[in-house]
Chains A and B, each alone.
Chain A
């Protein structure tokens, strides 16, 4: 059919079952927005493009579908980049659409021109620049396929304005072939058999589960494997929720601010079954000291992750769900009694239970987490900002289900949690969504309270208000002789008034007994709610493994 490029784009997006786009229009995307005006796709107008990308990211993490965001050329596109990089580091499938100056103007330093394809090359799984109307359906199809399959990631499509305006003859393909792109899904069966043998013979096995378990929906298989052999399970930050943290075998997160029992157990193990994780430095501590006696089975869909950061004694490239399924069937019929190791770990877990019963006012954030837990159901979605607030949430808030803990793991982006909460709430309107924020992070994106209110996305933002860039302050306290260089933020703003200025609701919370009712009120309200939770200014997130140290060198 003969249609405009803009129309072809919208039709192609509809065919990919896109329900919502987060974005801001601009000069180079007006033709596209004109077509979007008549489309069934909901457009959510944000107030900053970074928010559009993070919201699409949150939408994707919460739903498992592809999130879509859109920005105009030049500054619109450059504002998206933080969100794109964030999605890239955490393997989140998003598709970013950017306007571009007309083809004939490219390279002339035209108004609002930026080399978006060049800029985003290292932070996307792949990117495209459209040059004709005819290629639109194929490119969109390829973009969605690349974003979602294999190891997921962001894909960007740069669309010059004239390509949107011009008419062309288009047909919509059912599928596309991408010659250089063949992700390995099924694991090598001989390797899997070897892994089975290692598991049967291990004395001190442990499962290390990462975000890949969530991405491939392999939680059930992981649980089956753990229970068959009483294997304790630790997760990375990205894996939080893939295994119920209320389960007797769950030890919680490992890493710099991981649970003591988790860090000890992985370091003392003789076999690590690593599933869908990439051994980031925040998870492993000093690699040279990491689990010295353990053999490592590394299951990952991305071959480049194997051997990148740690040695893998037995690599298995493939999709976590598929590999675990095959592994379980290799082990069928074999059962093990609860081992001494499992018993010992269980005992340690009780001994090392984190302390949260602080009574002080201003409150200790650990106590705030304890109070929030009282009103959380297992379906509620938690997003986090980055820094101390993130680590308090990951350390103290137990999660039982995948896709209920959304955090910026790899890039560590302050300002992620609130937009991600918006995206998650749009994906799951019936679910309670709460952003565990710090005042520093929230101020980076608080203008989008406007979006939340205008678009009626009633999330709760719980600001742990300590008036500091808390994580940096903590490092300054511990490693820089308390020289608080540029980390005090001042006594402004008043977060209650800030919320009210946007016609959101603001509640100040100062005492432990006020926390749970305030969160509940926020969940039950159809208004956007900001909780200004006044916490101890110099509370530290502990335990902590100092940077460059082994996982057992814990400051408590």
Chain B
């Protein structure tokens, strides 16, 4: 199964997220992640979705999304041509000083930030593509991850190019 990233512009109206997520459930499509926030246009929000499946499924997903009245535009973002980012907050157990310093050095290597420190734990904020975040999590899990929060992917096409409607 491939992973595809879709950028969906929707009218900022109550229930629009339910329409989009409900569509995926009803049509038996899989969402890996979904993020939403305001776009550059007033009254229009941008939903970024990652979808698992093949080309045929993707085509149906895009067509079905386009049928929703409050969906203004659906575009596929290729990972090559796009900036793809996810943010994660990772709370790691720090049982002693050496763990703490190891974590700080890892955070630096990954260009993460320490955003909270307590006696027994530390929260690291890390941004990047999903693979980078996976790698970081993999690295620190031996210390014990107490909590993990990932935002899901948001993405944007590179350069002056605008998304093309499909």
B is bound to A? yes
Chain A interface (Cβ < 8 Å from any Cβ of B):
117-118, 121-122, 125-126, 129, 146, 178-181, 302-304, 306-308
Residues of chain B with a CB closer than 8 A to A129's CB: 14-15
A180 near B71: Cβ-Cβ < 8 Å = yes
Give Cα A181 to B11, complex, Å.
Answer: 11
B162 at the interface (CB under 8 A from A): no
A121: contacting residue among B11, B22, B64, CB under 8 A = B22
Give Cα A178 to B72, complex, Å.
Answer: 9
A307 near B56: Cβ-Cβ < 8 Å = yes
Give Cα A121 to B14, complex, Å.
Answer: 13
Query: Which parts of B65-86 form the interface with A (CB within 8 Å)?
Result: 66-73
Give Cα A303 to B74, complex, Å.
Answer: 14
Residues of chain B with a CB closer than 8 A to A302's CB: 67
B69 near A181: Cβ-Cβ < 8 Å = yes
Take A146-B69, A178-B69, A180-B71 as given contacts and tell me if A118 and B18 are in contact as well, using a CB distance cutoff of 8 Å: yes
Take A118-B18, A122-B22 as given contacts and tell me if A307 and B72 are in contact as well, using a CB distance cutoff of 8 Å: no
Residues of chain A with a CB closer than 8 A to B22's CB: 121-122
A308 near B60: Cβ-Cβ < 8 Å = yes
Residues of chain A with a CB closer than 8 A to B59's CB: 307
Take A180-B11, A307-B56, A307-B59 as given contacts and tell me if A125 and B18 are in contact as well, using a CB distance cutoff of 8 Å: no
B60 near A121: Cβ-Cβ < 8 Å = no
B119 at the interface (CB under 8 A from A): no
Residues of chain A with a CB closer than 8 A to B64's CB: 304
B19 at the interface (CB under 8 A from A): yes
B72 near A304: Cβ-Cβ < 8 Å = no
B63 near A303: Cβ-Cβ < 8 Å = yes
Residues of chain A with a CB closer than 8 A to B161's CB: none
B42 at the interface (CB under 8 A from A): no
The 6 residue pairs across chains A and B that have the minimum distance between CB atoms: A304-B63, A126-B69, A180-B72, A122-B26, A180-B71, A303-B63
| A-B CB pair tally, cutoff 8 Å | 41
Q: 22 pairs across A/B with beta carbons < 8 Å? A: A117-B15, A121-B18, A121-B19, A121-B22, A122-B22, A122-B23, A125-B69, A126-B69, A129-B15, A146-B69, A179-B11, A180-B11, A180-B69, A180-B72, A180-B73, A303-B66, A304-B60, A304-B63, A304-B67, A306-B63, A307-B59, A307-B60
Residues of chain A with a CB closer than 8 A to B71's CB: 180
Give Cα A181 to B68, complex, Å.
Answer: 8
Question: Apart from A121-B22, A304-B66, what are 16 other A-B pairs with CB-CB below 8 Å?
Answer: A117-B15, A118-B18, A121-B18, A121-B19, A122-B22, A122-B26, A126-B69, A129-B14, A179-B11, A180-B68, A180-B72, A181-B69, A302-B67, A304-B60, A304-B63, A304-B67
The smallest beta-carbon distance between B155 and chain A, in angstroms, is: 21
Give Cα A118 to B23, complex, Å.
Answer: 12
B72 near A121: Cβ-Cβ < 8 Å = no
Query: Which parts of B32-91 form the interface with A (CB within 8 Å)?
Result: 56, 59-60, 63-64, 66-73
The smallest beta-carbon distance between A456 and chain B, in angstroms, is: 39
Closest to A153 in B: B67
Closest to A122 in B: B26
Residues of chain A with a CB closer than 8 A to B63's CB: 303-304, 306
Give Cα A307 to B58, complex, Å.
Answer: 12
